[in-house]
Amino acid sequence: MAAGYAWFLVLGSVFLCNLMKTLLPSISSFLSKLVQTDAELESEMRAEVQEMKKEQLSISMMDEFARYARLERKINKMTDKLKTHVKSRTGQQAKMKWVVNIAFYILQAALMVSLIWKYYSDPVTVVPSRWIAPVERLVAFPTGVAGGVGITCWLVVCNKVVTLGLYAVS
Amino acid sequence: MESGESAEEKTAPASAAQRRAEIRRRKLLMNSEDRMNRIVGFTKIEAETKAGASLRPTEPRFHLDLDRTEWSSSLPRPTPFLPEASGLSSRSHSATPERRGSPLPDSSEPHAGSIEDDIIGVRQRPRGERASDDVGGPPREGLQKYLSRFDDAMKLRGQLANEKATQEGESEPEEFDPFRVFRLVGSILLAIFVRVFVCKYLSIFAPFLTLELAYMGLSKYFPKVEKKTQTTVLTAALLLSGIPSEVINRSMDTYRRMGDVFADLCAYFFTFIISNEILLLIGSETPDGGAGPQ
């Protein structure tokens, strides 16, 4: 027969999954920052480029062309290096985002399957069958218990309500 | 006399050169027509059969300009200044400058006949070439259709790319318009009311259906929020497959309304079950009839 708080367990699981889904981007960026080791190098390179550009502004191109050109070459070299670094960092971030998303969806699928497996034959809650006529069979699927609320119906309802609620809150 | 003969000799090679140039232009234009037919997919065999059926007495459309220019170069153009030109040549030099310069209707009268003949001649030529237009019509239409579809596809591609960029960059557009909020709140309140007072007497879905019918009537009293139609891959594919945009918009509108009803139903049922559980927890009453809990 139905456990006392099965409906609450399913509701809580669905709420947790949807909450995690909204937090996925921040989780993936946090993890990528943890994994990344040479973050300081990039900021140093940026600072160096800024300094060189400032120095270049102070030089007159007409009077000290050689120095200007040398500095220009240095700036270009450093900018290219920085671009390569940024490219690899964004690639890493994209990879991390992809990994986090895949892991989340696998966990979510596992949780849903386990819930369905657990409550396949037991309804999450029971009400008098005449209350939910004429769709009591559909609501009770797959338990077959008269007046029961099946796991599939409850999952769908909770998912929709939690999505609406989280959207309203955010 | 000799100067006249030399002038004639000089003009003869010039006209021969002109003729060769015209022949070259014709050849180029013929090739362009073949190219156009190949682009459109109008096969050569079809072209030949159609040409054999109707084209023989007339020339293809691409030659229209050439023939017109040829013809116009040989005959005087029907311009308003034609009477002036002929007037200058035939009349005496004692004519006033104003009369020379102005295309007066009086001066054109003696030459009206010639002008009309010219115009009729000009008109006759295109009439003869109208049959060629009909033959060139289907490939042209096909090409235009292809080009218009291609333009639509490019525009939709651009739109899709922009929509994707805006969706990634910005937050989603607000879906909760006042009427939607009103519907959800109404469904929740009705669920609580039904759980407390009504569920013992009839099915819980009867009041819900009544509520939805009421919402259908109330929808016109609420300000309509014009939702921006999002161009998705599905709508783009449907548009390109030839389905009119009105049909797509109506279908999308119908699906949106069905979604709203489903959301109301979910909110209603969820609130009903939660309120039932809360009441059971509080222990204010036990559900009568049907299968009770354990």
User: Which residues in chain A have their CB less than 8 angstroms from residue B205's CB?
Assistant: 132-135
Closest C-alpha among B125, B81, B89 to residue B105? B81
| Minimal-distance CA residue of chain A relative to B290 | A128
pLDDT per position as a tens digit, A89-109? 889 889 999 999 999 999 999
Integer Cα distance of B105 and B117 in angstroms: 17
Residue in A106, B108, A153 with CA at minimum distance from that of residue B99: B108
Is A131 close to B290, i.e. CB distance below 8 A? yes
d(CA B184, CA B254): 19
Res. B127: pLDDT tops 90 = no
Mean pLDDT of B187-191: 93
Please report the pLDDT score of residue B22 as a whole number.
87
Q: Residue B203: its chain A contacts at CB < 8 A?
A: 130-134
Interface contact B267-A161, CB threshold 8 A: yes
What residues form DSSP beta bridges with A148? A126
SS3 state of residue A125: strand
- pLDDT for the residue numbered B81: 44
- Output B154 or B173, whichever has higher pLDDT: B154
Q: How does pLDDT run across B14-63, given as a tens digit for each residue?
A: 688 888 888 888 887 777 777 777 776 655 555 555 555 454 544 444 44
Instruction: Report pLDDT for B41.
Output: 64
Q: Nearest C-alpha of chain A: how many angstroms from B282?
A: 14
The answer to whether residue B153 scores a pLDDT higher than 80 is no
- Chain A interface test: which of B185, B209, B277 (most A C-beta within 10 Å): B277
Tell whether A146 lies on the interface with B, counting CB pairs under 8 A.
yes
Enter the tokens of residue B231: 């161009």
Minimum-distance CB partner of B277 among A1, A125, A147: A125
Nearest residue of chain A to residue B168 (CA atoms)? A25
3-state class of B169 per DSSP? helix
Distance in angstroms (rounded) separating the CA atoms of residues B156 and B151? 9
The H or E element spanning position A56 is: helix A39-58
Q: Is the dihedral angle over the CA atoms B84, B89, B91, B96 positive or is it negative?
A: positive
CB within 8 A of B188, min separation 6: which ones?
B267, B268, B271
Structure tokens at B97: 């400058």
Point out which residues pair with B273 in neighbouring strands.
Answer: none
Residue A154 buriedness (CB in 10 A; 0-12 / 13-18 / 19+): buried
Closest residue in A to B259 (Cα–Cα): A160
Interface test with B, best of A11, A124, A129, A161 (most B CBs within 10 A): A161
Confidence band of B285 (pLDDT split at 50, 70, 90) = low
Tokens matching residue B218 = 């109330």
**Nearest beta carbon to residue B263 from set A7, A126, A164:** A164
The three-point CA angle A55-A60-A62 to 5° equals: 145
Contact between B273 and A127 using a beta-carbon 8 Å cutoff: yes
B88-100 pLDDT, tens per residue? 444 444 444 444 4
Q: How many CB atoms lie within 10 A of CB A37?
A: 7
Please give the Cα distance from B294 to B292 (Å, whole number): 6
User: Considering chain A, what percentage of its residues have pLDDT values greater than 90?
Assistant: 38
Interchain proximity B270–A161, CB inside 8 Å? yes
Please provide the average confidence, as pLDDT, over all residues in chain B: 67
Pairwise CA distance, residues B87 & B77, whole Å: 15
> Of A61-65, B175-179, B260-264, which gets the smallest average pLDDT?
B175-179
Share of chain B above pLDDT 70, in %: 47
Q: What is the pLDDT, as a whole number, of residue B104?
A: 45
Give dist(CA B133, CA B142) in Å, integer: 14
A168/B176 touch (CB, cutoff 8 Å), yes or no: yes
Coil, strand, or helix at residue B292?
Answer: coil
Beta carbons of A130 and B289 less than 8 Å apart: yes
CB within 8 Å of A69: residues ≥ 6 apart: none
> What is each CA distance from B58 to B62, B63, B101, in whole angstroms?
12, 10, 40
Cα A38 to Cα A92: distance, rounded to the nearest angstrom? 12
Looking at the predicted structure, is the pLDDT value of residue B291 above 50? no
Task: Please give the distance of CA A84 from its chain centroid, rounded to a whole number.
Answer: 26
Tell me which chain B residues have a C-beta less than 8 angstroms from the C-beta of A168: 176
Q: Judge contact between B159 and B60, C-beta under 8 A.
A: no
Scanning B231-270 for CB atoms below 8 A from A yields 262-263, 266-267, 269-270
* Pairwise pLDDT comparison (A152 vs B237), residue with the higher score: A152
Look at residues A108, A138, A111 and name the one whose alpha carbon lies nearest to residue A123: A138
For the segment A51-97, what is each residue's pLDDT rounded down to a tens digit? 988 888 888 888 888 888 888 999 999 999 999 989 988 898 899 99
CA atoms within 13 A on the CB side of B171: 6
State how far residue B223 is from chain A, nearest Cα, in angstroms.
Answer: 20
Q: What is the DSSP string of B14-43?
A: HHHHHHHHHHHHHHHHHHHHHHHHHHHT--
B269 contacts A7? CB cut-off 8 A = no
Residue B245, pLDDT > 70, answer yes
Q: How far apart are CA B271 and CA A23, in angstroms?
A: 26
What pLDDT, on the 0 to 100 scale, is given for residue B40?
A: 67
**Of A117, A140, A119, whose CA–CA distance to A129 is shortest?**
A140
Q: At what angle do helices A65-118 and A6-35 cross, to 10 degrees?
A: 160
Strand-pairing partners, residue A149, are A125
Contacts of B204 in chain A (CB under 8 A): 131-132
Cβ contact, residue pair A132, B276, below 8 Å: no
Q: How far is it, in rounded angstroms, from Cα B273 to Cα A154?
A: 10
